[in-house]
Chain A
């Protein structure tokens, strides 16, 4: 079944560690997004990509980096994790303009 899959689902890491969150999709969509969800703040856009050679910053990209290794894969990295990056992270995919976005199950990240 075509889907959007995030790994890991849960992760606890220490302050200062590098961590990578991965997203893969079998929908064949060109656009991929990374959001973080915090209580009271909703979903905020971190990075987005329209194809393998296209990477764009969202509203809260500081402290994060991304890699679009293939059309189907979009990874989010925290180079040096800090506690206020503790959040629920969502990957989403979309085909073309103004269409439905499909979300992964989310990755719950805790930085201690």
Chain B
């Protein structure tokens, strides 16, 4: 079955520290993967998608088919990065989300 796994419920770092939010997936075909973010009191919004290979707000994510991973990285965390992050997989006809990781960035 197609599945998205985010092993960490909470990740706490200090400002300026590197951040890596983990995402692993199980999918039999070629996956289409996304990262969505939910800031406090805001609706979920797209952060980035693997097909565009772009960097948004300093975040990048590389698809590793061998390890079935799509980890989200940022070299220097900022306080405004504190939010809930969801990894998502587009599965033929629907969007499946992981359980989410809350990132806390302390000053």
Interface residues of A (CB under 8 A from B): 4, 33, 35, 40-45, 48, 50, 56, 58, 90, 92, 94, 97-98, 100-101, 103-106
Instruction: Determine whether B95 belongs to the interface, using a CB cutoff of 8 Å to chain A.
Output: yes
**Given A40-B9, A105-B43, also A92-B95 (CB < 8 A):** yes
B93 touches A56 (CB 8 A): yes
Instruction: Determine whether B97 belongs to the interface, using a CB cutoff of 8 Å to chain A.
Output: yes
Binary contact track B37-48/A, C-beta < 8 Å → 1, others 0: 000000111100
Residues of A within 8 A of B9 (CB): 40
B100 touches A42 (CB 8 A): yes
A35 touches B97 (CB 8 A): yes
Interface residues of B (CB under 8 A from A): 6, 9, 32, 34, 36, 43-46, 49, 51, 86, 90, 93-100
**Given A103-B44, A104-B43, also A56-B94 (CB < 8 A):** yes
Can you sample 25 A-B contacts with CB below 8 Å? A4-B43, A33-B95, A40-B99, A42-B6, A43-B86, A43-B100, A45-B94, A45-B95, A45-B96, A45-B97, A48-B93, A48-B94, A90-B44, A92-B95, A94-B95, A97-B90, A98-B32, A98-B51, A98-B90, A101-B36, A101-B46, A103-B44, A103-B45, A104-B43, A105-B43
A48 to B96, CA, bound (A): 12
Tell which of B9, B34, B44, B46 has the most Cβ of chain A within 10 Å. Answer: B44
B46 touches A100 (CB 8 A): yes
A56 to B32, CA, bound (A): 20
Closest chain B residue to A48, Cβ basis: B94
Q: How far is the CB of B52 from chain A (nearest CB, A)?
A: 10
A33 to B45, CA, bound (A): 15
Closest chain B residue to A42, Cβ basis: B99
A80 to B15, CA, bound (A): 47
Q: How far is the CB of A97 from chain B (nearest CB, A)?
A: 7
Q: How far is the CB of A106 from chain B (nearest CB, A)?
A: 7
Residues of A within 8 A of B51 (CB): 98
